[in-house]
C-alpha cells in the first residue's frame, strides 16, 4: 500500500484488531448494495463493524430476469448473493441477508451505501432501496455513502441544501441535486455522512460510529 495519511489509516482500519469488541453491541447496520459493489468498501466496513459488536446485514434488491428478447440472463447465484468487484475485475460473491423489499428503517440504526460504479447505478433504480434511504434519513439515523454510493442519495432526493462529497467524477451530480459539494475525505451534515473513495472509509465509519455511540449514550 502506498504511503500517505489516508493510506495508513485504511491499512490500520483493515488490519488492526478491534479496540473495543463491544463498542457497537446491540446496533444493527444495513449495507445496501447490489452486484458490482466495490470489495474493499463493503468487506472493510462489514468486518470492522462486526468486530466491534454490530449486527451487519447485506441488504440488496431481488434480481429478476431480463426481457427474453435481449437474450441475457443473470447467473442463478444472483438470487441469493451479490457479486463484489475489485475496480475492474470480479472479486467474489457475498450472501444477501435481507432483500430491500423486506428491510425497514425501524430495523436498523444506521445504513451504508458503498460504491463501485455498477452497483449504485443499478441500486438507484430499485424503489425499495430509495425508500429505505429516505426513511433512514428522515428518521435521523446515520445515512452514509462512499464513492459512487451517493448516486442512490441523488435518486432518493435527500441531498438538496446539504453539504456532501463523493468521488470526483460524480460531484457534479451532487451539485445538480442541490448539494453543496466539498472535496474533503468525509463530510458530515447532520445524519448525512459522505466520503469520496476507499481510502476515506475509516473516516466515514468513524463519523457513523460517533453518532451511534452518542445516540446510545
Domain segments of the chain: what residues?
5-215
Query: What's the pTM value of the predicted model, to 2 decimals?
Result: 0.94
pLDDT per residue as tens, the chain (217 positions): 567 888 999 999 999 999 999 999 999 999 999 999 999 999 999 999 999 999 999 999 998 777 788 787 888 899 999 999 997 788 899 999 999 999 999 999 999 999 999 999 999 999 999 999 999 999 999 999 999 999 999 999 999 999 999 999 999 999 999 999 999 999 999 999 999 999 999 999 999 999 999 976 5
**Residue 29, Ramachandran bin (φ over 0: left; ψ between -120 and 50: alpha; else beta):** beta
203: Cα separation from own chain's centroid: 13
- CATH number belonging to the domain at 5-215, selected among 3.40.50.10480, 3.40.50.620, 3.30.1280.10, 3.40.50.880: 3.40.50.880
For residues 163 and 187, is the Cβ–Cβ distance under 8 A? Answer: yes
Known catalytic residues? Answer: 147
Burial letters 46-80, b for 16+ CB under 10 A, else e: bebbebbebbbbbbbbebeeeeeeeeeeeeeebee
Amino acid at each position: 500500500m502506498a504511503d500517505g495519511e489516508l493510506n495508513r489509516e485504511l491499512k490500520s482500519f483493515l488490519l488492526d484488531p478491534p479496540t473495543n469488541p463491544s463498542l457497537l453491541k446491540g446496533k444493527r447496520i444495513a449495507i445496501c448494495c447490489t452486484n458490482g459493489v466495490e470489495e474493499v468498501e463493503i468487506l472493510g466496513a462489514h468486518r470492522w463493524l462486526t468486530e466491534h459488536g454490530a449486527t451487519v446485514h447485506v441488504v440488496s434488491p431481488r434480481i429478476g430476469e431480463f426481457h427474453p428478447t435481449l437474450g441475457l440472463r443473470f447467473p442463478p447465484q444472483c438470487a441469493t448473493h451479490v457479486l463484489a468487484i475489485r475496480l475492474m475485475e470480479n472479486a467474489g460473491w457475498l450472501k444477501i441477508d435481507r432483500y430491500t423489499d423486506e428491510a425497514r428503517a425501524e430495523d436498523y440504526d444506521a445504513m451504508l451505501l458503498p460504491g463501485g460504479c455498477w452497483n449504485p447505478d443499478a441500486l438507484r433504480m430499485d424503489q425499495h432501496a430509495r425508500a429505505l434511504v429516505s426513511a433512514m434519513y428522515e428518521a435521523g439515523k446515520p445515512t452514509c455513502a462512499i464513492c459512487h454510493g451517493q448516486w442512490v442519495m441523488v435518486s432518493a432526493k435527500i441531498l438538496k441544501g446539504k453539504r456532501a462529497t463523493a468521488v470526483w467524477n460524480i460531484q457534479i451530480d451532487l451539485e445538480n441535486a442541490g448539494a453543496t459539494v466539498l472535496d474533503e475525505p468525509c463530510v458530515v451534515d447532520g445524519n448525512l455522512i459522505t466520503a469520496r473513495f476507499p481510502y476515506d472509509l475509516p473516516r466515514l465509519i468513524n463519523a457513523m460510529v460517533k453518532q451511534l455511540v452518542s445516540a446510545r449514550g
